[in-house]
């Protein structure tokens, strides 16, 4: 059985006046998450908190009996949070438009399950190769897929913040669920777009491959995003398999 080490860091950045991101680590239950709120100061922050609290509620209690039950807990975290946010907006119409992008990574004894919605991301570093496991639910990603723009053009595109899927925006949203095996030495990175909009993958992999513990690597990733302008909240979670 593998041991998973978790570390997380969030930072307001250099431009925003509040932090709508949130992360949650639960080593005992074997999961972690990142949520990036949208919809204005109070509402975006609340959407992220609702997602994190919902996941904590669903993962509380006995461990899942098998991988399929773990998949269902991941999916239910998104769907129940989606319902709770919509209920909140129904009771507070001035918060209309609130929601969050979210990543939820959970481990079994030999594998992982990821739930993904929006343009936050989950990466895996394995044997020196960084792979983006999730695909952005964004307008610019659709344009990349259609060959209309390049990935480099997307980084500075004026519509790069248009999200096509998020938690709490509409009923019964489509959720991406991924699963796969884990191996000793794997390192997973969950992050909000405050990191990836400003720090290229090549620089991220350099940090992850460098000497140092997980906390130092998380600190450096956040520092790099701030050095590049810190235009958004920045959140980084690392999960190392040993």
Average pLDDT over the chain reads: 94
Residue 42: pLDDT over 80: no
CA-to-CA distance for 238 and 242, rounded, in angstroms? 13
Residue 174: pLDDT over 90: yes
Token digits of residue 127: 């044997």
In DSSP terms, which residues pair with 112 in a beta bridge? 107, 180
- Considering only the C-alpha atoms of the chain, give the largest distance between any 2 of them, rounded to a whole number of Å: 50
Please state, for a pLDDT cut of 90, what percent of the chain lies above it.
86
Q: What value does the mean pLDDT take over residues 25-40?
A: 95
Position 37 scores a pLDDT of 97
Could you identify the residue written with the tokens 């019964």?
172
Position 142 scores a pLDDT of 80
Please state, for a pLDDT cut of 70, what percent of the chain lies above it.
99
CA-to-CA distance for 77 and 71, rounded, in angstroms? 10
CA dihedral for 155, 47, 19, 70, sign (positive or negative)? negative
Nearest Cα neighbor of 58 from 46, 43, 70 is 70
Decide which of 163 and 216 is more confident.
216
Could you identify the residue written with the tokens 């509620």?
57
Position 148 scores a pLDDT of 86
Instruction: Kindly provide the residue ranges of all beta strands, DSSP E only, lying in 159-233, ordered along the sequence.
Output: 176-181, 187-191
Residue 150: pLDDT over 80: no
Q: What pLDDT band is residue 231 in, cutting at 50, 70 and 90? A: very high
Residue 152: pLDDT over 80: no
Position 180 scores a pLDDT of 98
CATH number reported for the structural domain that contains residue 37 in this entry? 3.60.40.10
At residue 106's C-alpha, the angle toward residues 59 and 226, to 5°, is 110
Nearest Cα neighbor of 207 from 190, 195, 224 is 224
Q: What pLDDT band is residue 162 in, cutting at 50, 70 and 90? A: confident
Position 41 scores a pLDDT of 63
Q: Is 114 strand, coil or helix?
A: strand
Q: What value does the mean pLDDT take over residues 114-139?
A: 96
Q: What pLDDT band is residue 39 in, cutting at 50, 70 and 90? A: confident
Decide which of 151 and 177 is more confident.
177
Position 60 scores a pLDDT of 97
Q: What value does the mean pLDDT take over residues 50-71?
A: 96
Q: What pLDDT band is residue 151 in, cutting at 50, 70 and 90? A: confident
CA-to-CA distance for 26 and 7, rounded, in angstroms? 10
Residue 110: pLDDT over 90: yes
Name the residue range of residue 205's domain.
4-241
- Cα dist. 123→6, 65, 202 in Å? 14, 26, 13
CA-to-CA distance for 60 and 141, rounded, in angstroms? 35
Domains in the chain, number: 1
Nearest Cα neighbor of 225 from 204, 205, 240 is 204
């Amino acid at each position: 059985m593998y041991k998973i080490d978790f570390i997380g860091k969030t930072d307001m950045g250099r431009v925003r006046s509040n932090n709508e991101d949130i992360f949650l680590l639960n080593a005992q239950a074997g999961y972690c998450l990142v949520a990036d709120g949208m919809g204005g100061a109070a509402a975006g922050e609340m959407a992220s908190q609702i997602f994190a609290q919902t996941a904590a509620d669903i993962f509380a209690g006995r461990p899942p009996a098998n991988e399929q039950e773990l998949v269902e807990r991941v999916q239910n975290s998104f769907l129940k949070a989606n319902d709770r946010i919509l209920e909140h907006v129904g009771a507070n119409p001035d918060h209309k438009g609130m929601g969050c992008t979210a990543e939820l990574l959970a481990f079994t004894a030999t594998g992982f399950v990821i739930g993904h919605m929006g343009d936050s991301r989950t990466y895996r570093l394995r044997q020196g190769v960084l792979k983006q496991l999730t695909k952005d639910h964004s307008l610019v990603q659709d344009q990349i897929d259609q060959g209309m723009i390049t990935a480099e053009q997307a980084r500075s595109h004026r519509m790069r913040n248009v999200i096509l899927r998020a938690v709490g925006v509409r009923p019964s949203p489509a959720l991406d669920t991924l699963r796969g095996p884990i191996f000793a030495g794997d390192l997973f990175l969950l992050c909000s777009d405050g990191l990836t909009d400003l720090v290229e993958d090549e620089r991220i992999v350099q940090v992850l491959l460098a000497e140092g513990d997980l906390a130092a690597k998380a600190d450096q990733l956040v520092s790099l995003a701030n050095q590049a302008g810190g235009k958004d909240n920045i959140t980084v979670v690392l999960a190392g398999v040993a």
